[in-house]
């Protein structure tokens, strides 16, 4: 099958019997639900851009498994050039959606599971790599969106999986059957889960022997028996339920999505299992997936940052102060911060290397430095955007007031900036800034920059492990003439 269009992707979701809950209610038609649909549109963009000649080089690649052209979101990176193109693709899609477009978690999981299963098989004589190659061919041939699911609810953070009072707080194997396994538990804040065709599950932390029932990786369809999803709510999400709220939404068409995914005794057939109790490989899988996703943030967040910087500059224009030197300087600072993140994304890609399985992985130290910077810089970029936008961004009346026969004209009169710009355009740009800094897309920009792909401390642990402090001490001693 060839590459899907965005419209075909959206139609394909309708065929699934995905069990979805939104605001406490079961939703049969989640595709057209006003709170869910913007996140589907964001994923659809990953399909539509792949259809356009000008973006084909970034959005598609030749599969090493099938020899066919596939969407890059389904691709195993074959070179450092592929890793660089991945980051550029993510910046592009960030620019087109101004939010999280979700499909990267699958791509990052494919690359991590591919290389890790190769090494598990080498150590244990298992057939996980073969299982995974067969699975990924199916994904590539059908141009699917897959949720790469890692994060467990985790309960008491001071206790390992097997020591939790409630054993389900980490996803685990509850039964072995002749033809597969049964799993129970949940994955929390899963990006793009509801609008994925498939879920690719990975363990959430490194594990010891006592936790081996928790060391499990597998793939299942999103509408598998026993699976259900509860949509996470976002700031201002119910604005999407209001009539004619267009202007108040800031970003009407696109949004991100996170959900709690619950596995209530879900059966997984043998040929879809990629790790089953080989606990010593859980850490490798986590480290690799996290590394790829920390690289990803040097692309997606930069693309969204481009939109936010543009919005702040437009707000300055509409306020009549495009030439104020302090505003120009703030915009320069925002660009500097944003491009620094991009430098990190490109650097960890350019320094990538071949894995034993043959696909390429990023430089882990640089990828972790990338994400550590992402936990800070978007906050500063948001602060500067809010500084430039002015307080009106959060005190402005609603679209209903602006459309009211009684007070609409008053709003339009008193919220006007420069005379040549309609008040509505000024509202639109301020609402877009609100959306990215505080509203629905803040999940995919500001707060996700902190916790997505692992909270800051997770990167600091990796930086301390990869930073090679001993070698640095040696350098210093040599220069200082200290003999040992
Ligand atoms: Fe992709 Fe970024 Fe969203 Fe992760 S946070 S899924 S890298 S857009
Ligand atoms: Fe993320």
Residue 441 pLDDT > 90: no
Distances (CA, A) of 258 to 123, 187, 196, 241: 36, 11, 12, 18
Least confident of 76-85, 281-290, 434-443: 434-443
Residue 2 pLDDT > 90: no
Percent of the chain with pLDDT over 70: 100
Residue 484's pLDDT is what?
A: 81
Closest-approaching ligand to the CA atom of 150 = 2
Residue 219's pLDDT is what?
A: 98
Which of 9, 135, 279, 297 does the annotation list as catalytic? 297
Please give the distance, rounded to the nearest whole angstrom, from the Cα atom of residue 300 to the centre of ligand 1: 6
Which of 74, 104, 276, 411 does the annotation list as catalytic? 104
Looking at the domain assignment, is residue 91 inside a domain?
A: no
Average pLDDT over residues 71-98: 98
| Residue 18 bears catalytic tag | no
Least confident of 60-69, 119-128, 139-148, 447-456: 447-456
Pocket test for ligand 1, best of 45, 101, 348 (most atoms within 8 A of CB): 101
Residue 1's pLDDT is what?
A: 58
Average pLDDT over residues 385-401: 96
| Residue 209 bears catalytic tag | no
Residue 139 pLDDT > 90: yes
Looking at the domain assignment, is residue 433 inside a domain?
A: yes
| Residue 370 bears catalytic tag | no
Main-chain phi, psi angles of 244, to 5 degrees? 50, 40
Confidence of residue 222 (pLDDT cuts 50, 70, 90): very high
User: What is the position in ligand 1's atom list of the atom closest to the CA of 102?
Assistant: 6
C-alpha triplet 369, 370, 376: angle, nearest 5°:
95
Looking at the domain assignment, is residue 171 inside a domain?
A: no
Looking at the domain assignment, is residue 409 inside a domain?
A: yes
Query: Which tens digits make up the pLDDT trace of 149-202?
Result: 999 999 999 999 999 999 999 999 999 999 999 999 999 999 999 999 999 999
Residue 440's pLDDT is what?
A: 79
CATH number at residue 308: 1.20.140.10
Average pLDDT over residues 57-72: 98
Mean pLDDT of the chain: 97
End-to-end CA distance of the chain: 65
Q: Are 126 and 57 in contact (CB under 8 A)?
A: no
Q: Are 268 and 296 in contact (CB under 8 A)?
A: no
Looking at the domain assignment, is residue 170 inside a domain?
A: no
Residue 267 pLDDT > 90: yes
Going by their DSSP bridges, the two strands 198-201 and 146-149 should be labelled as parallel
Residues having CB within 6 Å of any atom of ligand 1? 100-102, 104-105, 191, 296-297, 300, 444, 448, 452
| Residue 100 bears catalytic tag | yes
User: 3-state DSSP call for residue 27?
Assistant: strand
Looking at the domain assignment, is residue 139 inside a domain?
A: no
Which of 300, 348, 382, 437 does the annotation list as catalytic? 300
User: What is the position in ligand 1's atom list of the atom closest to the CA of 300?
Assistant: 2
| Residue 448 bears catalytic tag | yes
Residue nearest to atom 7 of ligand 1 (CA): 296
Q: Are 94 and 304 in contact (CB under 8 A)?
A: yes
Residue 76's pLDDT is what?
A: 98
Q: Are 233 and 217 in contact (CB under 8 A)?
A: no
Closest-approaching ligand to the CA atom of 147 = 1
Residue 444's pLDDT is what?
A: 81
| Residue 191 bears catalytic tag | yes
Looking at the domain assignment, is residue 21 inside a domain?
A: no
Closest-approaching ligand to the CA atom of 304 = 1
User: What is the position in ligand 1's atom list of the atom closest to the CA of 94?
Assistant: 8
Please give the distance, rounded to the nearest whole angstrom, from the Cα atom of residue 123 to the centre of ligand 1: 32
Q: How many domains does the chain have?
A: 1
User: 3-state DSSP call for residue 254?
Assistant: coil
Which of 55, 293, 360, 434 does the annotation list as catalytic? 293
Looking at the domain assignment, is residue 430 inside a domain?
A: yes
Average pLDDT over residues 457-477: 96
User: 3-state DSSP call for residue 249?
Assistant: helix
Q: Are 281 and 212 in contact (CB under 8 A)?
A: no
Distance CA 416, CA 412 (A): 6
| Residue 258 bears catalytic tag | yes
| Residue 297 bears catalytic tag | yes
Going by their DSSP bridges, the two strands 353-354 and 360-361 should be labelled as antiparallel
- Residue 298 structural domain: 284-474
Residue nearest to atom 8 of ligand 1 (CA): 100
The pair of structure tokens assigned to 440 is 């629905």
Query: Which tens digits make up the pLDDT trace of 401-413?
Result: 999 999 999 999 9
Residue 442's pLDDT is what?
A: 78
pTM value surpassing 0.85 = yes
């Amino acid at each position: 099958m060839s590459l899907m269009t965005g419209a075909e992707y959206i139609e394909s979701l309708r065929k699934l019997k995905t069990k979805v809950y939104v605001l406490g209610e079961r939703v049969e038609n989640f595709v057209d639900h006003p709170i869910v649909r913007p996140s589907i549109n964001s994923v659809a963009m990953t399909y539509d851009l792949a259809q356009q000649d000008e973006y084909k080089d970034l959005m598609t690649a030749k599969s090493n498994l099938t020899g066919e052209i596939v969407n890059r979101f389904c691709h195993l990176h074959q070179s450092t050039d592929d890793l660089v193109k991945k980051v550029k693709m993510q910046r592009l899609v960030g620019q087109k959606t101004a939010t999280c477009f979700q499909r990267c978690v699958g791509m990052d999981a494919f690359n991590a599971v591919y290389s890790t299963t190769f090494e598990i098989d080498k150590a244990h004589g298992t057939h996980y790599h073969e299982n995974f190659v067969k699975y990924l061919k199916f994904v590539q041939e059908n141009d699917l969106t897959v949720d790469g699911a890692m994060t467990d609810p985790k309960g008491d953070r001071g206790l390992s999986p097997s020591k939790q009072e409630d054993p389900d707080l980490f996803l685990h194997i509850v039964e072995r059957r002749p033809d597969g396994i049964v799993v129970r538990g949940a994955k929390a804040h899963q990006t793009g889960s509801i609008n994925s065709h498939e879920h690719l599950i990975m363990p959430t932390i490194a594990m010891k022997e006592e936790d081996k029932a928790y060391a499990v990786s597998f793939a299942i369809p999103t509408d598998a028996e026993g699976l259900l999803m509860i949509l996470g709510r976002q700031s201002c999400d119910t604005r999407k339920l209001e009539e004619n709220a267009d202007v108040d939404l800031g970003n009407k068409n696109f949004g991100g999505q996170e959900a709690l995914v619950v596995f209530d005794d879900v059966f997984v057939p043998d040929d879809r299992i990629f790790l089953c109790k080989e606990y010593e490989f859980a850490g490798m899988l986590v480290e690799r997936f996290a590394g790829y996703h920390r690289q990803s943030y040097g692309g997606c967040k930069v693309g969204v940052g481009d939109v936010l910087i543009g919005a702040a500059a437009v707000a300055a224009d509409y306020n009549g102060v495009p030439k104020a030197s302090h505003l120009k300087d703030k915009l320069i600072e925002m660009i500097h911060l944003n491009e620094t993140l991009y430098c990190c994304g490109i650097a960890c890609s350019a320094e990538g290397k071949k894995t034993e399985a043959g696909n390429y992985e990023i430089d882990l130290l640089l990828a972790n430095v990338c994400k550590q910077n992402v936990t800070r810089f978007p906050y500063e970029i948001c602060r500067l955007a809010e500084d430039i936008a002015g307080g009106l961004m959060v005190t402005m009346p609603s679209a209903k007031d602006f459309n009211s026969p009684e007070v609409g004209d008053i709003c339009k009169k008193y919220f006007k900036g420069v005379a040549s710009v309609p008040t509505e355009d000024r509202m639109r740009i301020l609402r877009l800034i609100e959306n990215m800094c505080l509203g629905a897309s803040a999940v995919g920009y500001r707060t996700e920059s902190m916790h997505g792909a692992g909270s800051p401390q997770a990167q600091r642990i990796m930086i301390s492990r990869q930073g090679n402090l001993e070698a640095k001490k040696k350098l210093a001693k040599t220069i200082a003439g200290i003999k040992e």
